[in-house]
């Protein structure tokens, strides 16, 4: 933990970069707006909707293993919004009082999700009616959905804040068997002791099988989102492209920074998208939120989010892995111990060694702080992590293909690299901490650019990776402000091959602002 806290408080002194000839493309032709403040808590996208006690809100899907999806949501036993009016300074001490969520004590709160296929093919006793019209018309009664799963809830308090009941339940791992991959489903959740208050029925698509045969598959990627007008624009841009199988958020989620009502407003902001498309998250430095006399960290992160840690052999939500069609995806914990003798390093070695490149030819990694970035913000801040874990990502399990980061509030696309040199045996790297947070873009760069830096732009936006087949993927980055229907500000093909004499899997970008990547 000492190493973790030191990382969060002090940036590591930057060592000299091995800079080559300037070749990085700086995207231009766009007038960047100034940073925007957080949206006010009473903004329509953030405010609590009118409704009875125990009304579900802040829904989020996440992938939970083969044929399974977890849904998390929040309910409150009353409709009091007093905390949202409290001054921000009221929570800055970040002390955790350990009151044990007394406001929920004695309440027999269920955590129930009811769900079924939209086409009715999983109805009890044979095929039932098609539910599409009822879903579209808002007339579907959740009680008629044929399948149900029960979960549980947790809660936490900090300073004068008491969370609602933080529910979770998993669809596809209970009676009735796994979800049918690629099928359209609808669900509704309840945490009401009387069973009378349900969420609006929500459609979603069950994850396809995690095999190469299920390609193509699309992943949306965002980072450092926050809850500003820019954040809302980024989220709207992601939602406007509905083909993503899931979203990767590379950390720094709500920017609550210890003021916990801002976790609730952020959950409401993303509900309209995260309720229907799985989101996979990892912790950033803004999730630290140290609380309590014993220094408990990441309290809200650990309480609010469901990730497949246990299913992937991890002891913690700080790092984990999962599979999607054609890819194994690994989330690494920047703010957990990553040193030579750490549990995370041992877990990563085991996880990479189990990857079946026949089933999942792509190996993707995401974490918060970047190993490769030519932006002056956070420059080489976690180079110790890179030195500890990069050798594993380069060799074990055939080597990673792409690594995604946040933390730096800018966009940068990087050539295949190892040991801070351009190297086709290494993965490509993408910095995408440009989701729209209140701190604004990071506009200052190394000059000249390192050889491995191909494209960089200090603008807000989001990315999309389409795994087309086992060797080719299409990457596109769309910049906020370019307008609906505008072409991507940066786009390139990622190609992976069989390697030089079998020594490594040669990777490289074709096209895009940085052009083709030559072998080093």
DSSP string, 362-380: EEEEE-SS-SS--BSTTTT
- Which listed residue (54, 286, 368, 378) is catalytic? 378
Q: DSSP letter at 511?
A: S
Tell me the backbone φ, ψ of residue 134, rounded to 5 degrees.
Answer: -65, -40
Distance CA 137, CA 135 (A): 5
Exposed e or buried b per residue across 19-37, where buried means at least 16 C-beta atoms within 10 angstroms of its C-beta? eeeebbbebeeeeeeeebe
Burial (CB count within 10 angstroms: exposed 0-12, middle 13-18, buried 19+), residue 356: middle
Q: Are 506 and 496 in contact (CB under 8 A)?
A: yes
458-468 burial, b at 16+ Cβ within 10 Å, e below that, comes to bbbbbbbbbbb
Report the candidate in 467, 314, 351 with the shortest Cα–Cα distance to residue 401. Answer: 467
Cβ within 8 Å of residue 512, ≥6 positions away? 413, 454, 455, 475, 490, 491, 492, 493
Q: At what angle do helices 229-239 and 261-274 cross, to 10 degrees?
A: 20
Between CA 332 and CA 344 the distance in angstroms is 8
Residue 49: φ, ψ to 5°: -70, 150
Cα separation values, 294 from 97, 226, 290, 297, 337, Å: 11, 28, 9, 9, 18
- Contact present, 505 and 497 (Cβ < 8 Å): yes
Q: Quickly list DSSP for 287-302.
A: G---BTTTTB--HHHH
Crossing angle of helices 383-395/343-353, nearest 10°? 20
Strand 69-75 and strand 165-171: the pairing is antiparallel
Write out the two tokens for 468: 């087309």
Whether the bond between 448 and the residue before it is cis, its omega within 30 degrees of 0, is yes
Tell me the torsion sign for CA atoms 299, 305, 308, 312.
negative
Q: Is 103 a catalytic residue?
A: no
| Residue spans of alpha helices (H) in 295-368 | 299-304, 343-353
In angstroms, the CA 389 to CA 482 distance is 37
| Gyration radius of the chain's alpha carbons | 23
What are the catalytic residues?
378
């Amino acid at each position: 933990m000492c190493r973790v806290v030191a990382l969060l408080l002090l940036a590591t002194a930057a060592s000299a970069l091995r800079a080559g000839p300037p070749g990085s493309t700086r995207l231009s032709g766009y007038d960047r707006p100034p940073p925007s403040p957080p949206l006010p808590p009473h903004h329509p996208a953030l405010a609590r909707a009118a409704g009875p006690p125990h009304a579900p809100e802040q829904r989020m899907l996440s992938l939970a293993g083969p044929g399974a999806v977890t849904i998390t949501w929040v309910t409150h036993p009353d409709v009091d919004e007093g905390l949202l009016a409290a001054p921000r300074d009221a929570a800055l001490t970040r002390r955790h009082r350990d009151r044990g969520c007394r406001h929920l004590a004695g309440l027999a709160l269920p955590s129930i999700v009811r769900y079924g296929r939209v086409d009715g093919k999983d109805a009890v006793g044979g095929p039932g009616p098609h539910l599409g019209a009822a879903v579209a018309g808002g007339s579907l009664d959740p009680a008629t959905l044929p399948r149900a799963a029960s979960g549980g809830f947790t809660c936490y308090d900090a300073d004068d804040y008491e969370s609602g009941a933080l529910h979770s339940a998993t669809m596809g791992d209970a009676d009735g068997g796994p979800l049918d991959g690629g099928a359209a489903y609808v669900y509704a959740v309840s945490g009401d002791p009387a069973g009378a208050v349900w969420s609006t029925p929500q459609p979603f698509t069950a994850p396809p099988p995690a095999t190469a045969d299920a390609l193509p598959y699309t992943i949306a990627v965002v980072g450092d989102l926050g809850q500003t007008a820019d954040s809302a624009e980024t989220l709207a841009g992601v939602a406007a492209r509905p083909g993503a199988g899931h979203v990767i958020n590379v950390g720094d989620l709500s920017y609550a920074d210890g003021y916990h009502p801002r976790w609730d407003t952020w959950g409401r902001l993303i509900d309209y998208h995260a309720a229907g498309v799985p989101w996979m998250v990892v912790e950033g430095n803004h999730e630290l939120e140290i609380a309590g006399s014993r220094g408990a960290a990441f309290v809200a992160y650990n309480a609010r989010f469901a990730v497949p840690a246990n299913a992937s052999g991890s002891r913690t939500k700080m790092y984990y892995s999962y599979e999607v069609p054609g890819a194994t995806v690994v989330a690494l914990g920047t703010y957990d111990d990553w040193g030579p003798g750490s549990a995370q390093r041992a877990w990563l070695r085991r996880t990479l060694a189990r990857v079946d490149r026949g089933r999942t030819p792509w190996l993707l990694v995401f974490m918060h702080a970047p190993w490769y970035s030519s932006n002056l913000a956070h420059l080489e801040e976690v180079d110790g992590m890179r030195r500890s874990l990069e050798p594993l990502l380069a060799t074990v399990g055939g080597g990673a293909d792409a690594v995604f980061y946040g933390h730096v509030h800018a966009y940068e696309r990087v050539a295949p690299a190892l040991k801070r040199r351009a190297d086709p045996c290494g993965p490509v790297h993408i910095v995408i901490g440009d989701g729209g947070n209140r701190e604004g873009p990071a506009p200052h760069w190394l000059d000249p650019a390192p050889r491995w830096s191909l494209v960089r732009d200090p603008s807000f936006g989001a990315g999309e990776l389409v795994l087309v087949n086992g060797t080719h993927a299409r990457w596109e980055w769309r910049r906020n402000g370019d307008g609906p229907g505008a072409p991507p500000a940066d786009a390139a093909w990622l190609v992976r091959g069989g390697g030089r004499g079998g020594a490594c899997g040669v990777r490289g970008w074709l096209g895009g602002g940085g052009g083709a990547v030559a072998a080093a």
